[in-house]
């Protein structure tokens, strides 16, 4: 992404992760929760760095897809609708950037 981002007019990211803390029910849940916390923090740092470097060229949409897992194919329509809702506010800005 770094090389492409330097040359791109716009970088569009889709943030699908969502950390919803739950009470761990087993040691495995605790380990998994620790992983999600660390991954979420790392993502926040990397996103902040990308925003510093790319400024207004970075557009990140965040569809609300909590509860839809990576294997939730039966909920694809719901996920796509969430993506459309999340992208809609960015369309004007995206058009402006691309029209330069």
Predicted local distance difference test score (pLDDT) of residue 4: 61
HSE at residue 47, side-chain half, CA atoms within 13 A, is: 15
Helices within 1-100 (DSSP H only):
2-7, 27-54, 76-87, 91-98
Res 3 pLDDT > 60: no
Rounded-to-integer distance, Cα 11 and Cα 90, Å? 12
Give me the pLDDT at residue 63, please.
Answer: 92
Q: Is the pLDDT of residue 1 over 60?
A: no
Three-state secondary structure call for residue 56? helix
At 44-92, the pLDDT tens digits run: 898 898 888 888 888 889 899 888 877 889 999 999 999 999 999 989 9
**What confidence tens digit (pLDDT) does each residue in 17-50 have?**
765 667 878 888 888 888 888 888 888 898 898 8
């Amino acid at each position: 992404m770094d090389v492409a981002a330097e040359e791109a007019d716009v970088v569009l990211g889709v943030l699908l992760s969502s950390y919803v803390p739950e009470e761990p029910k087993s040691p495995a849940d605790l380990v998994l929760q620790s992983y999600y916390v660390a991954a979420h923090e790392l993502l926040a740092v990397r996103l902040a760095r990308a925003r510093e470097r790319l400024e207004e060229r970075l557009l990140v949409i965040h569809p609300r897809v909590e509860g839809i897992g990576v294997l939730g194919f039966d909920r694809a329509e719901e996920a796509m609708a969430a993506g459309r809702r999340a992208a809609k506010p960015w369309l004007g800005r995206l058009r402006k950037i691309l029209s330069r």
